[in-house]
Amino acid sequence: MPRPGKSSYSDQKPPYSYISLTAMAIQHSAEKMLPLSDIYKFIMERFPYYREHTQRWQNSLRHNLSFNDCFIKIPRRPDQPGKGSFWALHPDCGDMFENGSFLRRRKRFKVLRPDQLSNMVSSVWPHVGVMDSMASMPVSHEYGPFGVPMKALCHPPGQTMPAVPVPIKPTPALPPVSAISALTVNSSQICPSTLPASSSLLEQTPPTPSEGKSALHSVRSALHSVPVHS
């Protein structure tokens, strides 16, 4: 029997659903899309809780990627060898966590037919649908993998994701609790090409809906003056 009230810091399950953890990882990446293995890596680096029972939670996470329409799968180009596809966020995923709780989403997405999804992806990421003819795509910092414009991969202001904790090195001695609860929102990570320098916005992990709401408000305030991308 586990002793009540006697849990180490790594025993504590983070107050995030798999959806928000995955969205956090994708949002934190430079190209706003990640292969499955990198999503695993992101989560394990930041949340020691997920360094154990990997088969269990990774199965759940894969289930979430396939099952939830807020994630879209972007295939690798033939000249980008590797296993699996890249995963990105549905462009409408912005205010999923509007209610301030990262454990429960506010709404589901419209279910799209395959042709609708294809149209949506090619309208948001114009180059994805024509990958076969992208061999001569000019190399530019304006573009992410597959020539997907970085601008298109950025979320408009007001569309916020959970703050991203700093990575925690897997050292034998566990870091203090403050190391993981001190969250920093780096707005340039949300949209590196256009947003201003990072600012530390959150002091604590939002463990409750009301605190989460407050944190979201802070993020929104900071992003308020950022120009809208078209």
Residues that bind DNA (CB under 7 A): 16-19, 35-37, 40, 56-57, 59-60, 62-68, 73, 76, 81-85, 87, 99, 101, 103-105, 107-108, 209
Please identify, using beta-carbon distances, which residue of 64 and 184 lies nearer to DNA: 64
**CA 84/CA 82 separation, integer angstroms:** 7
Minimum CB distance to DNA, residue 40 (Å): 7
Minimum CB distance to DNA, residue 76 (Å): 6
Please identify, using beta-carbon distances, which residue of 3 and 83 lies nearer to DNA: 83
**CA 194/CA 82 separation, integer angstroms:** 30
Please identify, using beta-carbon distances, which residue of 94 and 175 lies nearer to DNA: 94
Minimum CB distance to DNA, residue 62 (Å): 4
**CA 184/CA 182 separation, integer angstroms:** 7
Judged by DSSP in three states, 34 sits in strand
Please identify, using beta-carbon distances, which residue of 40 and 143 lies nearer to DNA: 40
* Cα–Cα separations (whole angstroms), residue 86 to 3, 71, 89, 117, 224: 41, 10, 10, 16, 30
Minimum CB distance to DNA, residue 127 (Å): 19
**CA 221/CA 230 separation, integer angstroms:** 21
